[in-house]
Each structure stands twice: as C-alpha cells, then as structure tokens.
Amino acid sequence: MSSPFLEAVSLSCERDWRLLFEKLDLSLLPGQMLQVAGPNGSGKTSLLRLLAGLMQPTAGEVRLSGRPLREQRAELARNLLWIGHAAGIKGLLTAEENLAWLCALHRPASREAIWQALAAVGLRGFEDVPCHTLSAGQQRRVALARLYLEAPPLWILDEPFTALDRHGVAQLEAHLSAHCTGGGMVVLTTHHSLTERPAGYHELDLGQRAA
C-alpha cells in the first residue's frame, strides 16, 4: 500500500484554553477526499488550518510524505491549494487581477488561462469588473476559479459551497470528484450533503471525537 501523502499523527488542538480534539490520526492518499464534519465549534476549521500549516498543533504532528510538515514549507506550498471560509478576494481589484495576484504567489498563470478559468465558473464578461461590485456568490466563484487553473494535487477547502446556487454546487461537486479520480486529493468542510463522491471518499466527524 502506498504511504500517505498527508497524515496527522496523534494530533491535539487547543483554542482559547479549550481542547477541541486530541490524539487524532488521519491519512490521505492520492485519489482520496476527506470531508471533515461536526457541529460548530468542534474544530473543523482549526483542523484544516493545521493540515495546511497555518497553525501549530498543541500536540502531535502533521506529516507530508512521511516527514514533519514544519520541515517542508516549500514543498507544501508547491503541493497545496488553500481556500478558506472567506473568499479572500480584494474588492478594489478586478476578477482577473485577483486571480493573477493569487497565482503569482506560487504558480503564475497567463491572462488566457485566467479568462478560461473565470468562464468555467460562469463569470465570462466579468473579468474586468471590480470585485466589490460582485455578489457574494460571484466573489466565491472568483476564488473557486483557482481550481480551474493549473492546480497542485492537494486542495484544502473550508466551506467551499458557501453562497453558491444549485448549479454552482453541482458543478463544484463534479469538479472536486474529477480531481480525486485523476489522482488529486481534497480535504473539505461543508454543511452541504455531497451527492457526488469519488471512490476514495471518507468522512471524519469531529463531533464524535470531542475531547
């Protein structure tokens, strides 16, 4: 069996002097999708931030390809696409400018590729529109357009379906499933019940792991 690409070993997390979870183990192989579930306050976003290297655990460690994540920041940056609960879009920039800026951090994209990605999420004609004039759903689509550019294998997504209409939800579900089928990996939180799941789908309910 292949070794995990991403794994957590005996992971514990404390926020505001409250232990959210402890001794948590998980692993993620190419082709797998992990949905992190649980009630509000159970530590779903905290776990995603730990896996993305944005927080340090109270105990235990996260490993990338068998080595501690803290030793592989550059490798993580090459392999990770993170989209948080907030869209992370700058209102004064256009949709194209936002994507160009975000991509420039790790994987620069051409203008043609950016326009194609925006078209893929239903924003053809909005490329030069300042994002503060867009609806919440359209701003979310700008953020999700990154998934249609040349993307790294590991996607960590916090509530990616927020503000999307029914068509947008169905489209994103299909795209996430296709990414896993092609050997990619997805870790996500969502209150939405997924109707399209790849063969490698599994769920972690933090509500059952409360410390």
Give me the domains of the chain, ranges plus CATH numbers. 31-45+73-200 (3.40.50.300)
pLDDT of residue 208: 78
Helix/strand/coil for 88: coil
The CB density around residue 126, as the number of other CB atoms within 10 Å, is: 20
The residue ranking higher by pLDDT, 87 or 165, is 165
Give the strand pairing for 59-64 and 6-15.
Answer: antiparallel
pLDDT of residue 154: 97
Q: Write the pLDDT tens digit of every residue in 110-137.
A: 999 999 999 999 999 999 999 999 999 9
Q: What is the mean pLDDT of residues 172-193?
A: 95
